[in-house]
Chain A
Amino acid sequence: MKRLERLLDLVHVLQSSREPVTLSALKEAFADYSGANDESIRRKFERDKAELANLGIVLRYIDDEDRTGYVLDTEATYLPEIEMGEEDRALLATAAQAALATPGFPHRRALRLALAKLGTDPADDERALLRVGHRAEKAGAEHVEALSEAVAERRKVRFHYRRADGETAKREVDAYGIFLREGAWYLIGHDHGRGAMRVFRASRMEAPEVMDGGPHFEVPEGFSVAEYRAVSPLRWNVHEPVTATVWVDPEVTFLVERDWGEPNDQSVFTVETSNVDFLVDQVLSLGRRAELRSPPQARARIADALRAILVAHEGSAS
């Protein structure tokens, strides 16, 4: 008998029986479990049990006064009846449609199957007032499935990583989580080489390899991808923190208050940053509506950027 058939028969027998089934009874029923070597048969049965457990099928051993043997815990194994309203179905379908259309979204097959288990089809997104879409760059999207496997199974990942300055180095990372931000997928985890938490952009990875076995680590208590990704790029650890002051036209201060906090009564923000380049981008984006007042090095960067724009416009126009 092939193993697939044996495992399905085993599930069938255990869930159909009203009483626990002993290993002796299974030996009689299954030719595959028969033979002289009890230890070998037990090991085979334990391997089958582990395979089923991996799929969420829970076999328990009952050892009461009047009965012993294995049962299939149907409550722990199978989904209960699920009552979902039309609005919940539509919301889930809307979310699923957007996810399935996103390059790199991991576990697509699992999502499709899970929706069917819930009796929902991605085409049921008939909610009139809401539509969702994400955009993800294709570069690096091919790595997301493997990275997500590493996150699910708590395994280490090895890859070559190209930094923004072009330097490439080998990394070994405990995969804590992945996230999509502004169209790019990122892995977040403990970098063994640096001895600290780091974020890696999937498009800068080469040949990520999920290491066998595991789980290799425990995710730290209280870790949250949502909180980590919510950290503004201003707080990314690029250099030692500096304090900057920026004047913003009071008419548009609301555009930056989430990132910069409240301005003083002169409409000047005081911003702590360890990524001044990002602050320069933000100030440039506001144009005439903002002026970076300090520190002088950051002012010099803005001046350099503006001069570069003028130089680019000095050539002949068409």
Chain B
Amino acid sequence: MAEANVPKELLYTEEHEWVEKTGDDEIKVGITDYAQGELSDVVFVELPDVGASFSRMEAFGTIEAVKAVSELYSPAAGEVTEVNDKLADDPAAVNRDPYGDGWMIKLKLQDPSELDSLLSPEGYSELIAD
């Protein structure tokens, strides 16, 4: 597999979600290039409704690829403010463009300091190098 892309401007979870800070207390979430490569062809993404709340590392949805279902974990506690509905018809966007069209949810954070415990790009690169 080609080396996975780990953008320097994002944060990461150990469960392979990426996090983009889009405001003081809002983030955008998806799964990493490494994760989509490991899963291979994504065929189904199940996301929550806008308004749903999740605690830190609680499952917010699932993704299915080649008959493998994986849970998706909320990087921090918060409320869903937007969902990428386009993934219902085009789940392959997660493979094609994991950091762009393949984004999954936007979260309004309960406590923005929870982001401090996420992995840096360097930390995540080390994790997937193991």
State whether these chains interact. no
Interface residues of A (CB under 8 A from B): none
